[in-house]
Amino acid sequence: MGMGMGVGMYRTLVVLLSLLLGLGAAIPAAAQPSFAVTLPSTEEGPVTGRLIVVAARAHDPEPRLQIGITGPPAFGVDVEGLRPGGTAVVGGAADSFAANLSELPPGDYQVQALLIRYTQVSRADGHRIWVPISNRRVFSTMMEGNLYSRPVAVTIDPAGSQRIALALTERVPATPERVETDWIKHVRIRSDILSRFWGRDMYIGASVLLPRGFAENPGARYPAVYVFGHGDAPFGFTTDPATNTPRAQAAAQDANVRTGYEFAQEWMADGFPRMVAITFEIPSPYFVESYSLNSANNGPYGDAITRELMPHLERTFRLIQQPYGRIVEGASTGGWEALAMQVHYPELIGGAWVFNPDPIDFTRYQLANIYEDENMFTLRVNDWNVRERPFRRSREGQPVFDVRQLARLEAVLGSRGRSFYQLGIWQATHGPVGADGYPVPLFDPRTGVIDREVAHYMRDNGYDLSAHVRRHWDRLGPQLRGRINLFAGEMDDFYLNLAVYQFESMVREVGGAEYPMRFEYGRPKKGHNWHHTDWAGVVREMAEHVRRTAPPGEDVSDWNY
């Protein structure tokens, strides 16, 4: 067949192609179900937020309470200024998790809608944005004032075009206030620093566990261990024996610790070290934790913690106001926060116990090297071998779910970095602010392609804690001597041990093989929640560290035993 073509034949092909395209344009889109969600006419005013519809097989618990990486199909869209009595449609264009609407297996479902309310804020950086805000440590799906529908039993045919009506008649109630006891006190203060940044009142707080004899010894001063993480009472402390169930004991044993009730028996005993243990409540508009440092997106949480909350606690609970009396501890999210506080505020913090921290070396951002790899979702071995990157594995190494799946779930939970979930808060904490005022993602949430400029921003601004310590070793090396204790399970469920290995290699390279920094790894098959000893043992280690590092002549009799 030659290169030439007759004019008549060419014109005939053009006409045929035009007819085919025209016919294609006339073919309707594939039929699929959709959801019409109505805001009650009794609502006080327009609502902006994230509208999510969940289609679950099981009715218990409610579908909205089943949202998660192992949960049922869910679909999400933004709503802006939805007026009372108005209706928003969740259809084929919605972000989806587990299945697209057209892919739902036919059958019976329990369907429920949830509307996460956003608040408009005018930040000090000049951006006006909409975000979910709560001063309590709750996920965005559970925030006070969110609206939801009652579950509706329906039979769905994904090939049909049925429109399922849902009405947002229910409201999430306020989170109950925490109860104080002789042992546990609660603090909440307005943060002037955060309020100025966010352009509205912002509150931070803490739960404070007092030592035995605190009230009887008004002149005594105590060292403090600041506990970072998602919990309320430090180390799960509780005097309620009903909580000491076989299930709680099994969970504690899996982590190589003891239950909160068992820990309480030791804490209250005569021979236990006298310290004050404090759990921070520092939620940001992007997650239940602020990740403890100043951040372009979260705001100046590091300043608020160190210049407002910690001084308030030290005055109120007679704490030692010197570095040797301030210890930080945390696991997972809290592990990253604790190490970040130690290496960014070494002049304030005297020691850190860090368990299975979120990525502390971004050459091992879980399984990706964000400075060299091209894609967060996949590992390209060669042109014929491309593999999905898992996000979680079993203790035996079996992948459980991958990064792409998690990104799909977070896309349903919120756009523009507002998922209030793991990938979202990492990018809000570590990354820059975009032109629209929202976090610039590290990677494309649909394709997984990594943005190298964002990766470099994260490193250059101190969020890669390994790179930060390396860059400032001349200053930090002398300050961190003997202060950091790092622990990780060899089979961490989220591959977080890999970054700890990298951190240790960095320290041995810049500080030498004998530099005093402690690393312990649980093996074999110890996972994400592994601890080298129970909580009482950890507190005893901390007390010994405080005693050993106290300035010469310091009286430790008040808090020793």
Q: E strand or H helix at 117, and its extent?
A: strand 107-117
CA–CA separation, 82 vs 501, rounded Å?
A: 50
Q: Residue 528: is its pLDDT beyond 90? A: yes
User: For 383-414, how does the pLDDT look when each residue is reduced to its tens digit (9 = 90+)?
Assistant: 889 999 999 999 999 999 999 999 999 999 99
Spatial contact of 87 and 19, defined as CB atoms under 8 Å apart: no
pLDDT given at position 256: 87
Q: Residue 547: is its pLDDT beyond 90? A: yes
Beta carbons within 8 Å of 218's beta carbon, 6+ residues apart:
318
pLDDT given at position 227: 97
Averaged confidence pLDDT in the chain: 92
User: For 21-78, how does the pLDDT look when each residue is reduced to its tens digit (9 = 90+)?
Assistant: 444 344 344 578 899 999 999 998 999 999 999 999 988 999 999 999 999 999 999 9
Q: E strand or H helix at 19, and its extent?
A: helix 7-26
Q: Mean pLDDT lowest for which of 307-311, 365-369, 491-495, 548-552?
A: 548-552
Spatial contact of 427 and 442, defined as CB atoms under 8 Å apart: yes
Q: List, as one string, the DSSP characters of 456-502.
A: HHHHHTT-SHHHHHHHTHHHHHHHHTTTEEEEEETT-TTSTHHHHHH
More confident residue, 39 or 255: 39
- Tokens representing 380 are 């390209």
DSSP state of 309: I
- Tokens representing 68 are 């998660």
CA–CA separation, 455 vs 442, rounded Å?
A: 6
In angstroms, how far is CA 288 from the centroid of its own chain? 7
When pLDDT is cut at 50, 70 and 90, the band that residue 195 belongs to is: very high
pLDDT given at position 560: 56
pLDDT given at position 240: 93
Q: What is the pTM of this model?
A: 0.92
pLDDT given at position 409: 97
Of the CA atoms within 13 Å of residue 503, those in its CB half-sphere come to 32
pLDDT given at position 237: 95
- Tokens representing 94 are 């919605």
CA–CA separation, 395 vs 202, rounded Å?
A: 40
421, 428, 441: which is closest to 141 by C-alpha?
421
